[in-house]
Structure 1
Amino acid sequence: MGFFIRDLHNHIVALQKKQCVEHTNKKPFTVFRGQGLSKDDFDRLVKTQGGLISFNNFLSTSTKQQVSLNFARRATATSDLVGILFDIKIDPSIPSTPFANVHDVSYFKGEEEILFSMNSIFRIGPMKQLDGNNRLWQVNLILTGDNDQDLHMLTEQMRKEIHPDKKGWDRLGHLLIKLGQFNKAEEVYDILLEQTTIDLEKASINHMLGMVKHGQGEYKDAITYYKRSIKIEEKMLSPTHANFVASYNGIGLVYAKIGDYSNALSYHQKALEINQKALPPSHSHLAMPYNNIGMVYHKMGDYSNALSYYQKALEINQKALPSNHPDLALSYTNI
């Protein structure tokens, strides 16, 4: 699959270069895409108007509006979908995600297809209802350039969050967990645990295995690994050391998952107390325990306390993160 993706991307890049040579007139133009979105996804799209949207697959569009509109209308035949006609403005003079006209190599000659490579990012513009149908909408998008300031800020923030301090297999394990590849991550950390003789590394690896087990739904094992990590660290670190925060949060999340809200609150409070002592009041890491405590109160039906903690998390994230960071969307959704 990786070979196919890389080959298709390279083909798009090659076509784009060829077409740029053949057509030196780089005027802006419009392409269209018709598809269905779930009602929840459409609501999220509406709420992020003015922000950015990423398509994480290859994006097929057409220069023919009617072709795309037909796809959008077809989606409304399914009761739980909203038909969307994306009206996409492209300025080929601005460096961006590779795209190319694939009419000459496409099986569907009549669609006049423009194909974008993976991870194309667009800014969400105005939206309007079509045909008086509240389940058929036009959404205007603008392809962002590589020099878009909001995109740059978001990219830099996300780079910081992909564990740049980790190396080798440890970093691979973090990335596998982030991608939801828990079985592969477990293999990595089992090997690392066998190889290391350093106690603090053992503590860190046990913590990561706790995250893996949580992701696999093996909650008792997750708690066991987290507590092993804490037990090792207790012999070597101050009780208020920041290393404890991650495991306390992890245990709290597991207890919340299995409905043990009393223990969940206890561990999240421990994490919060350490962070409050160790970090400035607007540090982004403080937002996590506030959010987690809010989540527990939410599950308990204590909505007043839940709202209070969610709002504290939001206030911190608003100060610490770019305005288009996904964690802000999470806070808004929770509230």
Structure 2
Amino acid sequence: MLNEIAHTMNELALVYMHQGRYKEAEGLYLRVLNEQIIGEGDQNTATGLNNLAGVYDLQGRYDLAEPLYEEALKIREKTLGEVHPDVAQSLNNLAGLYEAQQRYGEAEPLYLRALEIFKSTLSDNHPYMAFIIDNIAGLYNSQGKYEMADQLYHQALKIRKKIFGESHPDVASSLNNIAGLYRKQSKYNDAELLYQQSLLIGEKTLGNDHPSVATTLNNLAWLYYSQGRYEEAEPLYQRALAIFKAKFPSGHPNIDACQANYNTLKEKMQARQGRFANRALQRNDSGG
């Protein structure tokens, strides 16, 4: 009975996380742990610690998330052994935390160890394989190791297409990531095509108002901004921002990031309009 209560509370907390209601999710996870609904040192405890860490991680509260991820990993290694998919999941989460803090040297061995565990416990075409490969590619992308990232991103994409077909949110995610890599390399035409493909898949499979669609809109807008295509970028930022504001509470990181991008665009557009106005004045003066 107690485990059923913990499960229900964890599921509700997960819903809150997806909605960006982090404070409410945190309260539920803490209640599960503090009321000892789950036993000390068991797998449910590890799950609870991992989930609470995830709430802190998403908010950038890394100092709180790190010891919880570490404790969850310790429990899982002790109870499940060092070669188990749940251990790999904990390794992946801790690696992602390090990557977010640019602690790349600490993140890489954890990602690689997680990959080896998945290789030894899962099939080559399991979704988790694509997930960890994609994450490693992201790490290399962050470090400017573009050739290595490109190879791994495409490997993950190949697995996802084989599992899910051509039109699936995970495929859209891979396309979005490859597009981001190309944008960083100034391969704008290739990036634009992939962003557009990702956007079409997302709209078809998730709906026009899904946060993942908003993320792709934001990324495509940033691509246009990078090329000085401000008038094309503006409606995409506006649409992305509207979706984020409709789906998440005020202060959500996605809202703040998208708003910051849009504000930067508006500043550039205003500055350019000012330059055009000055040039027009100068032409009029010279013709007087």
> What is the TM-score normalised by the length of structure 1?
0.50
Q: Cα distance, 1:169 vs. partner?
A: 1.3
Alignment CA distance shift 1:277-1:229 (3 Å): same
Which ranges in structure 1 are unaligned for 5 or more consecutive residues? 1-151
Shift of 1:195: 2.5
2:145 to 215, 218, 230: 218
1:320 matches 2:258: no
> In the TM superposition, what is the alpha-carbon distance from 1:270 to its structure 2 partner?
1.7
More helix by share: 2
Instruction: Select which of 204, 212, 215 maps to 1:285.
Output: 212
User: In 2 relative to 1, CA 212–289 (structure 1 residues): closer, same or farther, beyond 3 Å?
Assistant: same
Residue by residue over 1:79-102, the C-alpha shift from the partner in whole angstroms, topping out at 9 and shown as x without a partner, is: xxxxxxxxxxxxxxxxxxxxxxxx
The Cα offsets for residues 34-76 of structure 1, whole Å up to 9 and x where unpaired, read as xxxxxxxxxxxxxxxxxxxxxxxxxxxxxxxxxxxxxxxxxxx
Encode CA deviations 1:189-230: one digit per residue, 9 max, x unaligned.
111222223222322121011110011111121111100111
Gaps spanning 5+ residues in structure 2: where?
1-19, 26-53, 60-68, 70-85, 263-288
Q: Percent identity?
A: 28
Aligned to 1:177: 99
Choose 1 or 2 for highest CA Rg: 1
Aligned residues: 184
CA distance, structure 2, for counterparts of residue 162 and residue 326 of structure 1: 8
- Alignment CA distance shift 1:235-1:153 (3 Å): closer
Give the aligned CA root-mean-square deviation in angstroms. 2.6
Please state how far the C-alpha of 1:329 moved relative to its aligned partner. 2.0
Give the direction of change, closer, same or farther, for the CA distance of 1:282–1:156 in structure 2 (3 Å limit): farther
**Greater strand proportion:** 1
Q: Are the counterparts in 1 of residues 241 and 255 from structure 2 also a CA contact under 8 Å?
A: yes
For residues 226 and 207 of structure 1, what CA distance do their matches in structure 2 show? 5
- CA drift at 1:321: 1.0
Change (3 A) 1:283 1:160: farther
Aligned to 2:195: 268
Relative to the length of structure 2, the TM-score reads 0.58
Q: Is the 8 A contact 2:221 2:236 kept in 1?
A: yes
Match of 1:34 in 2: none
Q: Is residue 188 of structure 1 aligned with residue 110 of structure 2?
A: yes
Distance 1:155 1:211, change over 3 A: farther
Is contact 1:297-1:306 (8 Å) kept? yes
Which of the pair has the greater relative contact order for Cα pairs under 8 Å at 6+ separation?
A: 1
For 2:205 and 2:175, how far apart are their aligned partners in 1?
Answer: 15
